[in-house]
Structure 1
Amino acid sequence: MKFEEMTPIQAKSIDPIMAGKDVIAQAPTGTGKTCAFGIPVIENIDANCDKVQALILCPTRELANQIANEFRLLCKYKQNVRTLAVYGGQPMDRQIMALKKKPQIIIGTPGRVMDHLRRRTLKLDDLRMLALDEADEMLNMGFREDIDTILQSAPEEKQFILFSATLPKAIQEIAAEYQKDVERISVVKKTVTVDTIKQYYIDVNERYKIEILSRMMEVTAFKLGVVFCNTKRGVDEVCEALQHRGFSAEALHGDMKQLQRDSVMAKFRKGLVNILVATDVAARGIDVDDIDVVFNYDIPTDEEYYVHRIGRTGRAMRQGLSYTLCTPKDRSKLRFIQNYTKSKIEQAEIPTIEAIKDQQATKLIDQIKDEMGTKMPRRYKECLDRLVEEGYEQEQMIEALFKMVMKNQTMSADDRIKLEDMQPSRNTGQVGDHVRLFINLGKKDKLKDIDLIKMITRETSTPRNGVRRVDIMEKFSFFEVPNGCEDEILGVLTKQKYKGRKINVEVAQRKGGSSRKGR
């Protein structure tokens, strides 16, 4: 497999796992974890026994497939060691037939493993080893009960291996309950990002994030790009907005059926779609080497997720690129990410309309150069000959063709929006470290303090204890939120209705000042 040295996690894990110890290991993605547990698992399989001896649980179908492929490579010279991946989205009958071939190693997602246990098509009576890979992601996806059920279905005398990028309290509880004589291993990369990725951030106004993302895409030369959002709803909204602006984009998240996800990934790999909008969990299975750029539409909730995201580009020693949209409320997260990655994330400017037009002209020139070496179709040559016969000069024809092409070029950017509006503003309603906002709902709308607070915290990322000094008047109300939260509230709430009434939110007007309206 062309490996010459062990990675740190392999060097620390293989010996204790081979010795039969329970292991809890913390290591980031991309450090060689699969071989760290895969090699000992395969070495400890009794090839003369056709019972299931090892079970590997992982959060997604894509990861299950990756692990299964790696195991097949590791088993190349191991006679009679059989592996099988089981996951949702694949016909159950096909998996039942494959299970009848007596694989000794099962790699699967918790939900589908549970399905087979209920049907008794999978039995764990002879299980010797059980491994959880990406354990934190499985818990984030709500698999805790399934994991408990599977662990309780397995023999008590088994080796339990747990690998995770992070070790939250829930992971440690599982380890305390099910592991014995534990060997704890931790490997943290000294530099968790690679030198081949240029990282940038852009200060943005929450309301104009999609406009700014579109502009960045217009001026960035890329063949394949990934946009990351924190939620499935966000993925759908961003993907729809990009498609509406003429971009070739598709969504990828956990609520999609497996056939849909397979279809999207196939299009992306073939270049039929050049922009993928995805959540972190769905992106675990994106195994494409030539992704040119990553856009963080939302700053991730965890620093490790940032590493996973930008690691999708800059592979195989290619130059990668990442852009992160940073609203005022995200600035502290960005500082944490920079400290964690120990890398510099430089500030980039929002592209102007002129910059976009210049980039489009450059693309057109490149396209013309590419066409120069190709033979002109006969019908085009006939059109050109007719124009020459009618007395038109070559320069006239070229000028007219340029005008036609440039006129037909679609531009996603809205030139009515000023650059200063898209950048975080210095609002006039500032009260210390809070901003006072006006909303056109009051007592006549049967609005209460608690109703307003719930609406703000449900629809935006503003913390519950961040909404203060709520004053409900007859026809309108005032409230204060932490500095930096106002742009998201203005952008989100003004798209909503309350009991059929359209909501309007503004930064409260101060004496001698002006208010800032939501759009």
Structure 2
Amino acid sequence: MENILFEDLEINNELKRAVADMGFTEATPVQSQSILPMLEGKDMVVQAPTGTGKTCAFGLPIMEKIDTEAKHVEALILAPTRELAVQITNELMKLGKYTAGIRITPVYGGQVITRQITALKKRPQIIVATPGRLMDHLRRHTVKLDNLKYLVLDEADEMLNMGFREDIDTILESASESHQTVLYSATMSKEILDITKKYLHTPEKVQITKSEMTVPTIKQYYLEVRSENKIDLLARLVDLGGYEKGIVFCNTKRMVDELALEMTARGYLSEGLHGDMNQAQRDRVMRDFRNRKIDLLIATDVAARGIDVKGIEAVFNYDVPEDLEYYVHRIGRTGRAKAEGISYLFVTRRDMWRLREIMNYTKAKIEYMPIPKVAEITDIRVRKALSEATALADDGKLSLYRQGIEDFLSEHDTEITILDLAAALLLKDVGLSDLKDIEERPRSREKGAIPTSGNARIFINVGKLDKLKKRQLIKLLVEKVGLREREIRDISILEKFSFVNIPAEYAKETLKKLNNMRLDGRKIKAEISTGKQGKKKKKAF
């Protein structure tokens, strides 16, 4: 489906003018596939990741259809976090810039509830809320949903992950029966499907395909690095790119704290962001990041949900995300509004199988990048220091220092030239003496080498989407390959591919036979996995 132009939409001129002010002319895939069905009043289930323009996808239809004369709540938008609720509110206010009479109120935890009650007394037509705080208002009867016309669940999967299922049920059951419901989610879990079946009526289904998941204006690179060298690598990439606003993603709160301290000690303006911080701390960090008082925001995935900061130049995946969807969420923080962005993925030896998973999932080309050498970093730092020194020289304030250098050289019997002295002072100033080339492990081959002993981990390009079951895979390996059932271990069936352990001595023959087979018409591709497949762990934040 081709993307639509906002100018061609049947919406009022005030909205078109507001969209133009925001710099948008062509709708994103999720907007192109969502706006028209929503304008037609259909319930919708939309599977799309963060950073694809979802707010405008549901915001435009709501702003077009809202009754500006209404004195009750007509539209409710639920979001998992305060940050996302604020972001949605700001976007809606931009859309309503030229539309008189629309009142929008955000309600979320961490803000004094009496202030929200005062705002609610002004009878907003649109409420943007987090589930927990909305439940407080429903119990106090300061919010009523009897006349609700539009209900949006944004990032529904994240709300469920945060334990809001009962609240969502209560809210949906409190709403009027005739409202339109639209659900957005990055994943389609059983719980999401249960909510869809229970509360939505013959919904229109939209799925942003894998090829549309990553933004083409984002250059994606991966670097193979040992765990102990990650900090040095991060510092070098920041220096090399001259980045003044970047986000670094870690998998755990502990790593966020440790890395923020280490990067600060190295002279980089860094702050951490994670779920153990109170709201005041998080607000301060985000305010400093927006105001460029921080160069690097170091965050966990969940804490970074809803962050929408303009001008993010680079995203650093310090840890490979444990969930595939999080990679898309992460890199979507840069390259927004068709601007160019760049992302780096730090990969250790044990992460190589997850790199392959990400590339298969997103259908994106993640290019290999060698680790920057000392010579490259030296050149960057020297040029920066010389540029700053040139600016000082132009001020004409160096006469005292020139005299001091001349006196020093005349008093000491030395063969050191002024050029040598300048180079020594530069070495001291830019701190190059401690730089050493980071040892880069040999690049992993596209296909893993067949082990000569122990077990071999086999990657197979069929999975749950092909309706593959464990029993079926065992039967295939026993009947078609000739393995015995007791030799087949640790089977993992994922969405689009699978893993299985077999004795290394049978690996070569197994690969040969599997690669000449078809499963329900699909040609099987099998190879040695470059890393051990593990179970997904629950995310810490």
Paired letter, 1:384? R
- Distance in 1 separating the partners of 2:433 and 2:172: 52
**Cα distance change of structure 1 residues 328 and 271 upon mapping to structure 2, 3 Å threshold:** same
The yes-or-no answer on 1:203 pairing with 2:220 is no
Matches within 5 A, 1:349-368: 349-368=370-389
The yes-or-no answer on 1:163 pairing with 2:181 is no
Matches within 5 A, 1:423-434: 431-433=454-456
Matches within 5 A, 1:364-513: 364-373=385-394, 375-377=395-397, 380-388=398-406, 392=410, 396-397=417-418, 399-410=420-431, 415=436, 418-420=439-441, 431-433=454-456, 484=531
Paired letter, 1:255? D
Gapped runs of 5+ residues in structure 1? 435-464, 467-481, 487-519
- The question of whether the paired residues in 2 share the 8 Å contact of 1:327 and 1:484 is answered with no
Alpha-carbon deviations, 1:441-479, whole Å to 9, x = none?
Answer: xxxxxxxxxxxxxxxxxxxxxxxx99xxxxxxxxxxxxx
Q: TM-score w.r.t. structure 1 length?
A: 0.74
Paired letter, 1:146? D
Following TM superposition, by how much is the alpha carbon of 1:210 offset from its aligned partner in structure 2, in angstroms? Answer: 3.1
Which moves more between the two structures, 210-219 or 148-157?
Answer: 210-219
Q: Which of 317, 327, 334 is 1:313 aligned to? A: 334
Paired letter, 1:382? L
Q: Secondary structure at the match of 2:303?
A: helix
**Cα distance change of structure 1 residues 183 and 319 upon mapping to structure 2, 3 Å threshold:** closer
Q: Which of 270, 273, 277 is 1:249 aligned to? A: 270
- The question of whether the paired residues in 2 share the 8 Å contact of 1:433 and 1:483 is answered with no
Q: Which of 243, 259, 266 is 1:238 aligned to? A: 259
Paired letter, 1:75? G
Matches within 5 A, 1:261-340: 261-315=282-336, 318-340=339-361
1:119 is aligned to 140
1:40 is aligned to 61
- Distance in 2 separating the partners of 1:9 and 1:299: 26
The yes-or-no answer on 1:341 pairing with 2:362 is yes
Paired letter, 1:181? T
Q: Secondary structure at the match of 2:219?
A: strand
- Distance in 2 separating the partners of 1:411 and 1:139: 49
Paired letter, 2:243? F
**Cα distance change of structure 1 residues 421 and 73 upon mapping to structure 2, 3 Å threshold:** closer
- Distance in 2 separating the partners of 1:171 and 1:70: 26
2:279 is aligned to 258
Paired letter, 2:233? I
**Cα distance change of structure 1 residues 392 and 263 upon mapping to structure 2, 3 Å threshold:** farther
**Cα distance change of structure 1 residues 18 and 252 upon mapping to structure 2, 3 Å threshold:** same
Q: Secondary structure at the match of 1:282?
A: coil
1:457 is aligned to none
Following TM superposition, by how much is the alpha carbon of 1:82 offset from its aligned partner in structure 2, in angstroms? Answer: 0.7
Following TM superposition, by how much is the alpha carbon of 1:392 offset from its aligned partner in structure 2, in angstroms? Answer: 4.9
- Distance in 1 separating the partners of 2:190 and 2:385: 55
The yes-or-no answer on 1:224 pairing with 2:242 is no
Seq. identity, % = 49
Following TM superposition, by how much is the alpha carbon of 1:391 offset from its aligned partner in structure 2, in angstroms? Answer: 6.9
**Cα distance change of structure 1 residues 96 and 401 upon mapping to structure 2, 3 Å threshold:** farther
1:59 is aligned to 80
Following TM superposition, by how much is the alpha carbon of 1:133 offset from its aligned partner in structure 2, in angstroms? Answer: 0.9
- Distance in 2 separating the partners of 1:297 and 1:23: 36
Following TM superposition, by how much is the alpha carbon of 1:57 offset from its aligned partner in structure 2, in angstroms? Answer: 0.5
CA RMSD across the alignment: 3.5
Alpha-carbon deviations, 1:290-316, whole Å to 9, x = none?
Answer: 222211111223333222322323345
Q: Which of 188, 203, 208 is 2:209 aligned to? A: 188
Following TM superposition, by how much is the alpha carbon of 1:225 offset from its aligned partner in structure 2, in angstroms? Answer: 1.8
**Cα distance change of structure 1 residues 202 and 6 upon mapping to structure 2, 3 Å threshold:** closer
Gapped runs of 5+ residues in structure 2? 1-18, 458-499, 502-528, 534-541
Count of residues in Structure 1 that have an aligned counterpart in Structure 2: 436
Following TM superposition, by how much is the alpha carbon of 1:261 offset from its aligned partner in structure 2, in angstroms? Answer: 1.9
Following TM superposition, by how much is the alpha carbon of 1:205 offset from its aligned partner in structure 2, in angstroms? Answer: 2.8
Following TM superposition, by how much is the alpha carbon of 1:406 offset from its aligned partner in structure 2, in angstroms? Answer: 1.8
**Cα distance change of structure 1 residues 311 and 485 upon mapping to structure 2, 3 Å threshold:** same
2:166 is aligned to 145
2:195 is aligned to 174
Paired letter, 2:321? P
